[in-house]
Amino acid sequence: MVGFGPVVIAEGFDDDHLVWWVHAWTVTADGLITQVKEYVNTSVTVTLLSQQVLPNASKCQCIWQSRLCDESVPGLILPI
């Protein structure tokens, strides 16, 4: 599990059913979950979108990638 500002990402695997999943929760400062997104059998790449122009940096920066799934599942980019 890892957090990026108000977004918390959790990844898991069900060995019995061969299912990979990623959950993305949006959480308020007082801990209230306001949004849940679930991705099943999908490789997720989380990118940080920024208006700032930093030297030698892209406006779209990869900050997290799925680690548990294999290479046969489709990929998805989740911008935050």
Nearest residue to 80 via CA among 7, 3, 1: 7
Please give the backbone phi and psi of residue 32, each rounded to the nearest 5 degrees, phi first.
Answer: -80, 125
Our count of domains for the chain comes to 1
pLDDT, residue 22, reads: 94
CA–CA separation, 77 and 80 (whole Å)? 10
Whether the Cβ atoms of residue 64 and residue 80 lie closer than 8 Å to each other: no
User: Domain range for residue 21?
Assistant: 2-79
Question: For residue 53, what pLDDT band results from cuts at 50, 70 and 90?
Answer: low
pTM: 0.74
Nearest residue to 43 via CA among 8, 1, 13, 76: 76
